[in-house]
Chains A and B, each alone.
Chain A
Amino acid sequence: MKELVIISGKGGTGKTSVVAAFAALSQDMVLCDADVDAADLHLIMDPAIKEEHDFTGGHTAIIDQERCTQCGLCRELCRWDAISEDFVVDSIECEGCGVCYYFCPERAIDFPENTCGQWFISDTRFGPMVHARLGIAEENSGKLVTLVRQEAKKVAETAGKDLIITDGPPGVGCPVIASIGGASAVLVVAEPTVSGQHDMERVVQLASHFRVPALLCVNKFDLNLEKTEGIEALAKAKGVEFMGRVPFDPVFTKAMVHGKSVVEFDGNSSATLALNAVWGNVNDYLG
């Protein structure tokens, strides 16, 4: 089984639109939305939820005011300044380390597990989809990413699908690391801007750090041809295989407004033709 993870480093380069287009072109895969922090793929895929599960991860300390003698040990030990002078835990600051809970001499601190999101198995018009929703201001997004990827694998095995297409998160931190480990390849969707190039370099470095082969596609390439060529040259120097260019095309936004992939919305648009070529190259690469 192959897993292709679409990432970008920089946000807003078109990752999710590319994933949706690939789903429409393949129609024989399992979709996985690993951008659990700001998941958008469902807005195009309109998934019919078949299974819904709570995601628990981490704990938060709660001080019982009845039992607390205000000795102050917890405030002394807490490295997050999460406990106020009147001994109330700020649940947003609380790291869930449990040090206060462990050392409280009065056993006045509870340490319940958090429900910090939900994950779903759904049907879409292109195949099964595993996705999630992390609660706002919650932690443990990396764990949730790992979970949805594992579940996507199970779904693919059960459904006899050979390919998983995963929509990855932006950045290079914990959720991205969780989304690329063990993947067959990552496709980096870059844009020809100074920040697009900077972020592409860092995410390619990340892929290489975790020994995942990286592929490149430049979106909105015609916004700055010189930068596009620069990015392609840089990718080549780093051993990143080039999959193709996609032009700047307002059809991306129009398709999104209609809840469709670009491929479905306008099969003859310049973006669709380019994405077809990129998809062909990616398929050849994956074999």
Chain B
Amino acid sequence: MIISVASGKGGTGKTTVATNLAASLGEAVQFLDCDVEQPNAHLFLNPEIEDSEIVTVPVPNVDEEKCTLCGKCAEICQFKAIVVIGETVLPFHELCHSCGGCVEVCPEKAISETSREIGMLEKGHCNGIEFIYGSLRVGEAMSPPLIRKVRSFTDIGKITIIDAPPGTSCPVIAAMKGADFVLLVTEPTPFGLHDLKLAVGAVRILGIPHGLVINRSDIGDDEVKRYAQEENIPILMEVPFDRRIAESYSRGKLIVEAMPEWREKFLTLYEQIRQSVTGS
């Protein structure tokens, strides 16, 4: 089962919920941190990294001997990632989406593909949990290929928990698509509600069952609850603001470590998700 933890607004507690849920469930879990721009889950689960690999994407390489400067590659490229300037063809690798169009279109077979590094993939374990995360190279713009790479390790025999990036655009979609359930983490504030509505819109486009966790549930106002009721979105868990939680978070400690009584609550949360997905 794949559970993607998302939020719309950043800083609402996605990573907190995802890591505590994982730690509560233990070795049945595979954890995929798909917030590759700012991966944080490893700071809380402290996995021992056993394997690292460089993740690359294919980009064009032009053989100037064969190139006749016909310009067909520049014509097909939608991303202005290859242009003909004077007597030379110039690929801009950081703009390339790796569609392979230029390679395919070149009548002289002058374009081949070479690889460009976009980030790292790290694999390891923590207390029996398989842990995989991606880390986008700083300065690199496009995260979806790295997110897809992390997700390619999905083990269907396990409970896969995905820590998604904030927002509602392409990286978030890449981290939610194909999940069995999306757990939306929000806070009861105007910003939290506004961005929650966007996230719900995205989850609905994808047609994935979803439920809410309201973090810092006793701050702000009641509008998030009213919205959830109106839209028939189940509230699966509420985490009140507790300075002890905030302080233990600041030190990289899990809630279930600082306050073991929370483990039961996260297991109940999982049970609700499981029932919603399997219908039993």
A198 partner residues in chain B, CB cutoff 8 A = 38, 40, 43
CB contact list, A55-105 vs B, under 8 A: 58-59, 77, 79, 92-93, 95-99, 102-103
A199 and B98 CA atoms in complex are apart in Å by 28
A276 and B146 CA atoms in complex are apart in Å by 41
Contact B142 A256 (CB under 8 A): no
Given contacts A92-B177, A171-B38, A209-B138, contact A11 B9 (CB under 8 A): yes
B205 partner residues in chain A, CB cutoff 8 A = 92, 136-137
A171 and B8 CA atoms in complex are apart in Å by 13
Q: Does chain A have a CB within 8 A of B173?
A: yes
Interface hub of A11, A206, A227 (most chain B Cβ within 10 A):
A11
Encoded as 1 (CB less than 8 Å from any B CB) or 0, chain A from 163 to 183 comes to 000000111111111000000
Contact A253 B219 (CB under 8 A): yes
Contact A12 B190 (CB under 8 A): no
A191 and B247 CA atoms in complex are apart in Å by 12
Q: Does chain B have a CB within 8 A of A37?
A: yes
Q: Does chain B have a CB within 8 A of A142?
A: yes
Identify the closest chain A residue to B140 (Cβ).
Answer: A173
A98 and B249 CA atoms in complex are apart in Å by 46
A241 partner residues in chain B, CB cutoff 8 A = none
Contact B78 A59 (CB under 8 A): yes
The distance from the CB of B107 to the nearest CB of chain A, in whole angstroms, is 13
B169 partner residues in chain A, CB cutoff 8 A = 37, 134, 137-139, 141, 175
Q: Does chain B have a CB within 8 A of A259?
A: yes
Q: Does chain A have a CB within 8 A of B104?
A: yes
A195 partner residues in chain B, CB cutoff 8 A = 15, 38, 40, 43-44, 252
CB contact list, B185-221 vs A, under 8 A: 189-191, 194-195, 198, 201-202, 205-206, 219-221
A115 and B2 CA atoms in complex are apart in Å by 32
Say which one of B84-92, B160-168, B228-236, B261-269 lies at the interface with A.
Answer: B160-168
Q: Does chain B have a CB within 8 A of A224?
A: yes
Encoded as 1 (CB less than 8 Å from any B CB) or 0, chain A from 45 to 56 comes to 000000000000
The distance from the CB of B204 to the nearest CB of chain A, in whole angstroms, is 9
Q: Does chain B have a CB within 8 A of A234?
A: no
Given contacts A10-B38, A195-B43, contact A170 B97 (CB under 8 A): no
Q: Does chain B have a CB within 8 A of A184?
A: no
A199 and B243 CA atoms in complex are apart in Å by 22
Contact B194 A202 (CB under 8 A): no
Q: Does chain B have a CB within 8 A of A38?
A: yes
Given contacts A134-B169, A172-B37, contact A250 B143 (CB under 8 A): no
B198 partner residues in chain A, CB cutoff 8 A = 38, 136
Contact A97 B101 (CB under 8 A): yes
A253 and B221 CA atoms in complex are apart in Å by 9
Contact B190 A257 (CB under 8 A): yes
A38 and B143 CA atoms in complex are apart in Å by 17
A137 and B189 CA atoms in complex are apart in Å by 23
A93 and B173 CA atoms in complex are apart in Å by 9
Q: Does chain B have a CB within 8 A of A272?
A: no
CB contact list, B250-280 vs A, under 8 A: 250-252
Encoded as 1 (CB less than 8 Å from any B CB) or 0, chain A from 212 to 251 comes to 0000000000011001000000000000000000001010
Given contacts A79-B98, A194-B251, contact A209 B191 (CB under 8 A): no
Given contacts A169-B167, A195-B43, A256-B189, contact A223 B250 (CB under 8 A): yes
A43 and B177 CA atoms in complex are apart in Å by 29
Contact B177 A79 (CB under 8 A): no
Q: Does chain A have a CB within 8 A of B49?
A: no
A9 partner residues in chain B, CB cutoff 8 A = 38
Contact B136 A99 (CB under 8 A): no
Interface hub of A92, A192, A248 (most chain B Cβ within 10 A):
A92
Given contacts A95-B99, A98-B78, A224-B251, contact A10 B10 (CB under 8 A): yes
Identify the closest chain A residue to B165 (Cβ).
Answer: A171
Q: B40, B99, B195, B252: which contacts A97 (Cβ < 8 A)?
A: B99
Q: Does chain B have a CB within 8 A of A16?
A: yes
Interface residues of B (CB under 8 A from A): 8-12, 15, 37-38, 40, 43-44, 76, 78-79, 97-101, 104-105, 136, 138-143, 165-171, 173, 177, 189-191, 194-195, 198, 201-202, 205-206, 219-221, 243, 246-247, 249-252
Interface residues of A (CB under 8 A from B): 9-13, 16, 37-38, 40, 43, 58-59, 77, 79, 92-93, 95-99, 102-103, 134, 136-139, 141-142, 169-177, 191-196, 198-199, 202, 205-206, 209-210, 223-224, 227, 248, 250, 253, 256-257, 259
A sample of 16 cross-chain residue pairs with beta-carbon separation below 8 angstroms, ordered by A number, consists of A77-B100, A92-B205, A141-B170, A170-B11, A171-B143, A171-B165, A174-B143, A191-B250, A193-B249, A193-B252, A194-B44, A206-B139, A223-B246, A224-B251, A253-B219, A253-B220
List 20 additional contacts besides A38-B195, A40-B9, A224-B250; criterion CB under 8 Å: A11-B12, A11-B166, A12-B11, A37-B167, A79-B100, A92-B173, A95-B99, A96-B78, A136-B168, A136-B198, A172-B37, A173-B171, A177-B139, A194-B250, A194-B251, A195-B15, A195-B252, A223-B243, A224-B247, A227-B250
